[in-house]
Structures are given as C-alpha cells and as structure tokens.
Amino acid sequence: MGMADPRAFPTGLSVRRTIRRNVYSGPTAGLAPGFVQANLAILPQVLAQDFLQFCQRNPKPCPLIGVSAPGDPGIPALGEDLDIRTDLPRYRVWRDGAAVDEPEDIVRWWRDDLVTFAIGCSFSFEQALVENGIELRHVTCGCNVPMYRTSIATEPAGPFRGPLVVSMRPMKPADAIRAVQITTRFPAVHGAPIHLGKPELIGIADLAVPDYGDAVPVHDDEIPVFWACGVTPQSVVATARPEFCITHYPGAMLVTDRRNVEFAIM
Amino acid sequence: MGMADPRAFPTGLSVRRTIRRNVYSGPTAGLAPGFVQANLAILPQVLAQDFLQFCQRNPKPCPLIGVSAPGDPGIPALGEDLDIRTDLPRYRVWRDGAAVDEPEDIVRWWRDDLVTFAIGCSFSFEQALVENGIELRHVTCGCNVPMYRTSIATEPAGPFRGPLVVSMRPMKPADAIRAVQITTRFPAVHGAPIHLGKPELIGIADLAVPDYGDAVPVHDDEIPVFWACGVTPQSVVATARPEFCITHYPGAMLVTDRRNVEFAIM
C-alpha cells in the first residue's frame, strides 16, 4: 500500500484502474511518467460558478484543465473510464472548513450536486526541468517542495479569496533563466515563475520556515525561484469554509490520460 | 551635427543617406525606430577567419548579423545602397591596439583586404522591452547603459580571447521574468539574460562602478539583470591588438534596413 513500482503504472489509465482496486494508497509522484497529474477540488454546484470564476481570474495558481458536469463522476477530456470517486489513492473530505475524513474512495460521500475541478500541477513542468538537466532540490533531498503564503492577494470571486501560495525551487541564476524559458512553454500548468530573488518582496520572512511542504537548503550561489502553486485553491477553499467539499489528499493526485507534452505551447 | 529629429529619419536607408552627406555625426539611438542597429568591427582579411570563429563560438555576446566580402564596402543582406565607409556617423580607427583617429568617414582608411562584421546590438531587444512597458533605467536617467567585465571567459579563437562583457538593467523581479521571455524571442540580438541577481557570482564587485557606460540606481525592490554585450568583441579586439582595425564610435551604430521584428523567432 506504500511505495509503488513505476514500471507497473505506465499510463494514466493503468494507474487509475489499479488505484480503483484499492491496492495502492500512496503518493502518485513518479507514476505514469509523462502523464499529467492534477489537483482536485470537488464542490457543491451552488459554489461551482464562483469557484470557476475564481480559477478564471487566477489562472497562474489555478490552471483549470478539466471540469465535470454536476453529479457526473467522469471527466471525458482528462481520461477514458475515469471515475473521480475511486481513482485517486486518497481524499480529504471537508465539512464547514474542517477535515472530517481521509478515505481511499468517496463513493459514500458522493452527491448528485457535486462538481469536480481538476487543476494543473507542477509535476508537468518539473518533468521538463529535469529533462533539461536542472536539479530540483526537493527531489534531491527526498522531501516535498517548500511552499509559502505570500503577501500577494488573489483576485476574489464570491466567497473565494486569500493569499497566493507559491512553491520555491533554489537554482543557480543561469538555471533560473533557463527555467523561465522552459516553464513559459507550459501556461496550463502554472507557467513561468511569478517571482525570483528577494523573498521579502512577496512577504516571505524566512525561507527556512515554509507554510506547507519541507524546507530545503539554498546555496550561496543560488537564488530562490517562485512559482504560483496549486495549493492556492485548496487554501482558498479552506478559508471559504464551504458546508461540504472534497480535495485530494496531499501528494495523492488525479493521474490523467493527457500527456505533459500536449500542454507545451511550442 | 548634434541632436537629430527622429522624424527626419524614418528608415535605415534615410539615416544612412543623411549621415553620408556629413550632416549628422551624433548618436544613432532613437533614429529609424524599429530598424536594427549594429555594432561594427572591420578587420584585415588575415584575421577575419579567426574573428568569424570567435563570433560563432560566442554567439550571445557576438551575434553576427552580417559579414562583407573582402574589400567590399557593401553588405547587401543588411541594406540597399549601403556603404560601410561613409554610412556611420563616426568611427574609431585602431593601430596596434591604440585609437589613432575618430573620423566621420573612413574613405581614406579603406583597404582592399578589409572585412566588415556587423554584430547585433541591444537596441533591438530594448525596443521590445519598452513596448512591453518595462522601464529601462539608463533611458530614464538619460545616460548610457552600465557595462561590466565579468569573470566569465569567452571561448577563444586565434588571438581573440578575453572576458565576457555584460550590460545591466535593474528590474523588479516580475519584470525580470517578463524580460527573460521577451528577449528570448531575439536570439540574434543577444537573446535572454545570462545572469540575474547576485553580481558577485560573475565577478562584479560593485554595481556602482561599471567598466563602460554609466552607473544607474538599483532600488531595494529590484534585482540586476545582465545581458551579454556587444562591447565584448570590441574589448576582445582591443586586447588582440591587431595591426589595423576600425570600429564604430561608441553610440554611433550602423543603422540597417532590417526590422527588429524580423529577428523575433516567434
């Protein structure tokens, strides 16, 4: 139930069908290499219009790659035979802003008014960075990427509002420039960085104290590079305290049938 | 002979024909807006092969946009009715590494073995930056861009060797990221920055003391952004001390018939 052999999961479809059998509940990083993974937010229809508008007003932290019809557990654009109720390793169920369950499927929590939002994640551009020979420090350290709440406000929509959350990857300046070029090609999965250098300019007092994930060392010949992060919509949903919602469990993403390269604009 | 009205110089050809009549010997910045301007190096044919190789090995500081045939004062690819002996406002003539003349034309210095090299300049990408609303501090200050010799060595070829020279423009981090995207589109005119943030990492001890040009203020919410600079080949030629060569006088560039937008790769 813990670690998985990536060779056993060559495609998004094979990942989902395996997870559906409840034989794997771990993190999805490294599974189905080359396939897009997505953050998940499932909300009652009464909130869906506001959340959709929030995503459209904040495309860098909330790049929507798929939205379901109300009550429909499928998202045909993202995968064949996809059932959002069973195909993620683990979920978090929220009531009035508090996590009330962390189940391996959400069949018993499903409602006919639920709308699923799939939001692009940094795994896609991280693959492109690694293929270009750029070190990802959190991968080297075997930990989660460090994430920080910033002093940059998102554009609100209805009850959804709050600070932009960013992920940080330390890089040598020449790699940072190359990383801007590489990630610019992927606007649907956060795109180019939103900041680099001086963290205090975006309200980050101490890089060693991330708000989410794990701290990583930043060497003297490196600068911190910050990307808008898919934790932003989760943070915003938590603040809005909807009467009900479901998200993925951290690290346990939706693995789709779309390929990362499909999302490259050049 | 000093300042010129840009409206009187709508195209590269009109600039060159006016300058040829010896009625203007000032700087070319702002003339023929939208047309490519170039750094100039004129060398005896015996050195031309090595210099060509130097440029090909160092395309970021030495982006060649035109080379003449030996003794030919024209460069058809860069302009109609172009005479390199008369069409720049002012020149510098060098003997054994020392400037010996700063004439308004080089007709009396011309030789049948001279090969002209036209090297892209930052004016092209600066136009794109300004059109994107990015402030150029040296333009705001009404001075020359600050330039620095770095600890980065160029790839040598024959007698041509020496440090990379960079120009520096201070920017807010978000503008620096946008500037990487914009200038990446112009690989033929220096392209993307080669460094940003911490100047000490490339051997620059004090931004307030440039090796060429003028110092500009860098505000607390800004980082310095460094581009490979067309002064590099001039610095390298000066170090090589050829028995004879001619360059443009600083700021008095070759104005071509090519448009900046032609050099955008997207």
Q: Shortest CA distance to B132 belongs to which of B71, B89, B178?
A: B178
Q: Is the dihedral of CA A163, A164, A167, A171 positive or negative?
A: negative
**Bridge-based pairing state of the strands A223-228 and A195-196:** antiparallel
Tokens of A113: 């008014």
Q: Which two tokens stand for residue A198?
A: 């001086």
Helices (H) and strands (E) in chain A, counts: 6, 11
SS3 A68: coil
How many domains in chain A? 1
Model confidence band, residue A3 (pLDDT cutoffs 50, 70, 90): low
Dihedrals φ, ψ of A200, to 5°? Answer: -65, -25
Nearest CA in chain B to A223: B197
Q: Is residue B98 part of a domain?
A: no
B243 part of a folded domain: no
Higher pLDDT, A25 or A208: A208
Residue A213 within any structural domain of the chain = yes
The pLDDT value recorded for residue A250 is 86
B80: buried, middle or exposed (CB in 10 Å: 19+, 13-18, 0-12)?
exposed
Burial environment of residue A23 by CB neighbours within 10 A (0 to 12, 13 to 18, 19 or more): exposed
Mapped onto helix, strand or coil, the DSSP state of residue B15 is helix
Residues of chain A with Cβ-Cβ distance to B198 below 8 Å are: 173, 221, 223
* Per-residue confidence (pLDDT) for residue A1, from 0 to 100: 44
A100 touches chain B (CB under 8 A): no
Cα distance between the two ends of chain B: 39
Contacts with A48 (C-beta within 8 Å, 6 or more apart), sequence order? A70, A115, A117
- How does residue A160 score in pLDDT terms, banded at 50, 70 and 90? very high
CATH number assigned to the domain comprising residue A153: 3.30.2040.10
B192 lies within 8 A of chain A by CB: yes
Confidence at B1, pLDDT banded by 50, 70, 90? very low
Token code pair at residue A21? 């059998």
Residue A154 in any domain: the answer is yes
Interface contact B181, partner A, CB < 8 A = yes
In chain B, whose CA is at the least distance from the CA of A200? B221
In a domain, A9, yes or no: no
DSSP class of residue B122 equals: T
Q: How many C-beta atoms lie closer than 10 Å to residue B60's C-beta?
A: 18
Nearest to B197 among A184, A201, A223 (CB): A223
What CA–CA distance (Å, rounded) separates A214 from A208?
A: 9
Instruction: Name the residue range of residue A160's domain.
Output: 123-232
Q: Which pair of tokens denotes residue B30?
A: 């702002």
A198 and B266 within 8 Å at the Cβ level: the answer is no
Q: Give the pLDDT of residue B10.
A: 86
Mean pLDDT value across chain B = 93
Each residue of B86-135: pLDDT tens digit? 999 999 999 998 999 999 999 999 999 999 999 999 988 999 999 999 99
Q: How many CA atoms lie within 13 A of A54 on its CB side?
A: 29
Cβ contacts of B266 on chain A, cutoff 8 Å: 266
Backbone angles phi, psi at B121, to 5 degrees: -135, 165
Residue B206 near residue A195 (C-beta atoms within 8 A): no
Tens-place pLDDT, residues B20-72: 998 888 889 888 989 999 999 999 999 999 999 999 999 999 999 999 999 99
3-state secondary structure of A249: coil
Q: What pLDDT, on a 0 to 100 scale, did the predictor assign at position B164?
A: 97
- Residue B151 inside a domain? The answer is yes
Contacts of B194 in chain A (CB under 8 A): 174, 177
Query: Cα A211–A217–A220 angle (5° rounding)?
Result: 125
How much is the pLDDT for B6? 60
Identify the closest residue of chain B to A197 by CA–CA distance: B197
How many residues would you count in chain B? 266
* CB–CB contact A195 B174 (8 Å): yes
pLDDT tens-digit series, residues A223-253: 999 999 999 998 999 899 999 999 999 889 9
- Over 60: is that where the pLDDT of B177 sits? yes
Examine residue A224 and state whether it is found in any structural domain, yes or no: yes
Question: Which pTM was predicted?
Answer: 0.86
Q: B201 CB near a chain A CB, below 8 Å?
A: yes
Count of Cβ atoms closer than 10 Å to residue B118 Cβ: 29
Whether A173 and B196 lie within 8 Å, measured CB to CB: yes
Per-window interface: B 205-244 vs A, CB < 8 A: 221, 223
Interface touch B173/A201, C-beta < 8 Å:
yes
Mutual angle of helices B231-240 and B45-57, in 10-degree steps: 140
pLDDT at A25: 87
Residues counted in chain A: 266
Cα separation, A69 vs A74, whole angstroms: 8
What is the least distance, in Å, from the CA of A170 to any CA of chain B? 13
Q: Give the pLDDT band (50/70/90) at residue B144.
A: confident
Distance CA A261, CA A128 (A): 9
Dist. CA A193–CA A226, nearest whole Å: 5
Closest CA–CA distance from residue B205 to any residue of chain A (Å): 15
In this complex, is the C-beta atom of A29 within 8 Å of any C-beta atom belonging to chain B?
A: no
Alpha-carbon separation of residue B76 from A158, B21, B29, B66 (angstroms) = 62, 21, 23, 9
Residues B194-217: pLDDT tens digits? 999 999 999 999 999 999 999 999
Lowest mean pLDDT among A111-115, B199-203, B262-266: B262-266
**Is B76 a domain residue?**
no
Among A16, A230, A17, residue whose Cα is nearest residue A124: A230
